[in-house]
């Protein structure tokens, strides 16, 4: 319940409030594979968020679907740390398919905010996020 409250309700409610005060372009970090019909809670929740944001009808909605987020975390996540460690020696073309540094994701989001697409709803997958940096 806490996960859904934070990852779904807070995001959708913040978007609705932003729209109510005139926000025309909303950007959101979703997840690789987001799908409202998934049986996996995380992927399903992200897919539901995307659908609910589309219903708010912003002039522009940019949905970022990064893969593994590469960053140093304060909290301990041993399995995630192991996966991140495995990504480091991988060729850059491989990394671009499934992972991104959080600094690069943020830079891409700023660039998209400054240069919105002509599409009403734009879903930007991990490898295309790199094109926005």
User: Domains in the chain, ordered, with CATH?
Assistant: 1-131 (3.40.50.720)
Active site residue 36: no
Tokens of 33: 């594979």
Distances (CA, A) of 87 to 11, 45, 99, 124, 126: 29, 26, 8, 21, 15
The pLDDT assigned to 70 comes to 82
Active site residue 10: no
Indicate which residue of 42, 88, 112, 130 is catalytic. Answer: 42
Indicate which residue of 46, 54, 96, 112 is catalytic. Answer: 46
DSSP-derived 3-state class of residue 71: coil
DSSP tag of 120: S
The pLDDT assigned to 21 comes to 98
The pLDDT assigned to 69 comes to 87
* pLDDT mean for each 10 residues of the chain (133 residues): 97 98 98 97 98 98 93 69 65 70 96 96 96 95
> How are beta strands 25-29 and 60-65 bridged, if at all?
parallel
pTM score, two decimals?
Answer: 0.88
DSSP-derived 3-state class of residue 73: coil
The pLDDT assigned to 78 comes to 74
> In angstroms, rounded to a whole number, what is the distance separating the alpha carbons of residues 126 and 32?
7
């Amino acid at each position: 319940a806490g996960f859904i409250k934070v990852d779904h309700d807070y995001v959708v409610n913040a978007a609705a409030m932003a729209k109510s005060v005139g926000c025309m372009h909303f950007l959101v970090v979703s997840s690789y594979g987001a799908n409202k019909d998934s049986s996996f809670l995380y992927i399903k929740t992200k897919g539901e968020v995307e659908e609910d944001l589309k219903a708010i009808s912003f002039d522009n909605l940019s949905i970022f679907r990064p893969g593994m987020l590469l960053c140093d975390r304060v909290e301990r996540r041993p399995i995630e740390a192991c996966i991140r460690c495995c990504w480091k020696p991988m060729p850059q073309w491989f990394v671009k398919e499934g992972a991104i540094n959080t600094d690069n994701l943020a830079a891409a989001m700023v660039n998209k905010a400054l240069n919105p697409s002509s599409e009403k709803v734009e879903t930007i997958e991990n490898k295309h996020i790199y094109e926005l940096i």
